[in-house]
Structure 1
């Protein structure tokens, strides 16, 4: 059985993330950009909220820009010390936040805090990257040392400078390289693999292979709890509290980095090196699943959402297909051999015998095979 792929995806822009190493003077200027960009975002959010309460109408981005320009000449002259395009980017980000809210993709925009973990600002114009000198040049910030480990070609569209809670600096470069994804290959049953994610094993495929769940956060919980208790005992506003806060942030950063590395290695093996040209996965309601307080930490530690998102774009890059089946399909309760559907299947049941054909099914492998068949449209 073969199915033709009718979609041709195009990714006109790609992002490259680099570690940067600003000197002391550059750090001060970057911090000023963080503060001014955050101030403009909060000021614009306040203006929109006040204007709506007074008139029942919303302020447009253009109106906010005009008010910002007038304010810079009046009571906010200190905003002229930073790149004006970064301030306009904050207004654009707020406009996007409201668009996402009205379209149901996000919650109502909140005010940004200077005490939150990540700080960032954007430079949408006049940015150059010098790979020979290993430096990055931003408006009013020239010669920032960078670890340019991956070269790129194309026009730089936007650079987002970020500072992590542990104090590291990064630059995400958005490049317009006019790259077109290859046309996906024809979907064939023999080259299709069903994938099921779990907590005992992270990944199970329809060919019977299992990948152990690394449980990255669980391995760091003891150390994390010790450092968090120390942090709670420190006096608020003290230097020691700030140092301890950084230690806690470093642990969280290490957990996130290990998870990031694990998921990218696994998705690269599937999308780049696997013989399969099509993968079928289940469209999981992860936001709903984490509401279970007994499983929430384990589900978030596994990183299912990151895995599925990463596998999606890597499949597109390699001309492979990713099929998503409905979340209400009975993948676990259905016997892949005869199609008999069990009435109930508790999570504690890892292996079960079909009362119809008497076959003994591994819960996860059977689910992966059902996901493959449902994705291919095979009658079950």
Structure 2
């Protein structure tokens, strides 16, 4: 499955019908959530998706005849989305589902059937919405599964086309030490690899804060519910949209340089607790501006498309405090310390490059299935990681020798 996002240009009549789809899909979602909540409080049991569908069909014939103006499959897709939201909640992946608001920024609805994309006419055909003009800048081949129509806070319309192209991802390459690169993300430099290369942090939000603050101050002075407030709100949304687009473009360029153009076949990254890190009120804005989560997610699927490996190491490994030369661990390492000298081997370490090298070595140890004693010493890792091409037997032999070498290094 791959998704292709296109900008659409509906005419005034199509916009009215699209807005009806937004409203009806949102209403069905909120109605179904209310029905499930009320039924659970009364009986202690949950309503199934099939029971909600039967109630929806009955209500369309009785008191909600206006729902027949839109595509029925879009309404059923709202019920399916609510069922998925409850599944994610019960499995601990998300919070309890919330009611959708018509005043929120993004509005959307789905069309799971009877959708065609006409590249010759540059149009997308949906049920009850034929011939929507679109900028089809990327062709595709395969079966169209679902089309999601969205409206951005700035008033732009998009269509996200999910396609089953039948392409099988290539088999991942063999993990080799010489083709493995450790990656460390930061705020001063956005990306640092184990080879010493650094990518500057663009600080996209910071560059637009002055303009954004000025427009938001004007918005705060507008009367609520007025037309001028709506116009000013759209101006603020356009600034946020430009910031998001710049960050999106930077992320795709950085991941393309790694997954598409780099000779490395394996990347090791740290499994960061970003939700916990943004609770720091002094660094929250800078962390969210960097977009670490988007970068790691994008890099993951691009590695999968190109047959490369992405290794995630545990978030509790002391990658910054550990000397990559001798394995000495510092007791404390404040963020203000960017360079430090190892008390054991007297080597001068760049904080970020040293962390990237440790991430690479620990990731190699994880991929080889080495024991904890190997992962605790970069010296032993460098010895055992060279046995990748010789198979698991050689790596096990390196793990037996590691404790003696780690003790001598300490």
| Corresponding residue of 1:46 | 34
- Report how far residue 269 of structure 1 moved: 0.6
For the residues of structure 2 that align with 1:345 and 1:147, how far apart are their CA atoms? 51
Unaligned segments of structure 2, at least 5 residues: 363-409
| Corresponding residue of 1:283 | 271
Measured against aligned partners, the alpha-carbon deviations of 1:11-56 in whole angstroms (never above 9, x if no partner) come to xx11111000001110000000000000000000000000000000
Aligned partner (choices 154, 178, 187) of residue 190 of structure 1: 178
SS state of the match for residue 282, structure 2? coil
Measured against aligned partners, the alpha-carbon deviations of 1:186-224 in whole angstroms (never above 9, x if no partner) come to 011001000000000000000000000000001111100
SS state of the match for residue 96, structure 2? coil
- Report how far residue 178 of structure 1 moved: 1.6
- TM-score, with normalisation over the residues of structure 1? 0.95
Measured against aligned partners, the alpha-carbon deviations of 1:293-322 in whole angstroms (never above 9, x if no partner) come to 110000000000000000000000000000
SS state of the match for residue 196, structure 2? coil
State the Cα RMSD in Å. Answer: 0.7
Q: Which moved more, 1:178-187 or 1:113-122?
A: 178-187
SS state of the match for residue 137, structure 1? strand
Aligned partner (choices 208, 220, 228) of residue 196 of structure 2: 208
- Report how far residue 179 of structure 1 moved: 1.7
- Report how far residue 177 of structure 1 moved: 1.1
- Report how far residue 288 of structure 1 moved: 0.5
SS state of the match for residue 224, structure 1? helix
For the residues of structure 2 that align with 1:214 and 1:373, how far apart are their CA atoms? 28
Instruction: Flag as ranges the 4+ runs of structure 1 deviating above 6 A.
Output: none
Measured against aligned partners, the alpha-carbon deviations of 1:262-309 in whole angstroms (never above 9, x if no partner) come to 000000010000011100000000010011111000000000000000
For the residues of structure 2 that align with 1:337 and 1:269, how far apart are their CA atoms? 28
| Corresponding residue of 1:244 | 232
Measured against aligned partners, the alpha-carbon deviations of 1:235-263 in whole angstroms (never above 9, x if no partner) come to 11111000000000000000000000000
For the residues of structure 1 that align with 2:108 and 2:263, how far apart are their CA atoms? 41
SS state of the match for residue 258, structure 1? helix
Measured against aligned partners, the alpha-carbon deviations of 1:164-196 in whole angstroms (never above 9, x if no partner) come to 000000000001112211001101100100000
Measured against aligned partners, the alpha-carbon deviations of 1:71-123 in whole angstroms (never above 9, x if no partner) come to 00000000000000000000000000000000000000000000000000000
Q: Point out the structure with max Rg over C-alpha.
A: 2
For the residues of structure 2 that align with 1:39 and 1:101, how far apart are their CA atoms? 21
For the residues of structure 2 that align with 1:277 and 1:84, how far apart are their CA atoms? 47
Question: Is the aligned partner of 1:159 residue 2:147?
Answer: yes
| Corresponding residue of 1:173 | 161
For the residues of structure 1 that align with 2:127 and 2:62, how far apart are their CA atoms? 24
| Corresponding residue of 1:35 | 23
- Report how far residue 233 of structure 1 moved: 0.4
| Corresponding residue of 1:3 | none
SS state of the match for residue 260, structure 2? helix
| Corresponding residue of 1:231 | 219
- Report how far residue 368 of structure 1 moved: 0.2
For the residues of structure 2 that align with 1:134 and 1:373, how far apart are their CA atoms? 50
Question: Is the aligned partner of 1:124 residue 2:112?
Answer: yes
For the residues of structure 1 that align with 2:226 and 2:272, how far apart are their CA atoms? 44
Q: How many residues align?
A: 363
For the residues of structure 2 that align with 1:84 and 1:368, how far apart are their CA atoms? 52
For the residues of structure 1 that align with 2:220 and 2:19, how far apart are their CA atoms? 26
Measured against aligned partners, the alpha-carbon deviations of 1:307-348 in whole angstroms (never above 9, x if no partner) come to 000000000000000000000001000000000000100000
For the residues of structure 1 that align with 2:253 and 2:126, how far apart are their CA atoms? 32
For the residues of structure 2 that align with 1:321 and 1:344, how far apart are their CA atoms? 32
- Report how far residue 143 of structure 1 moved: 0.3
- TM-score, with normalisation over the residues of structure 2? 0.88
| Corresponding residue of 2:315 | 327
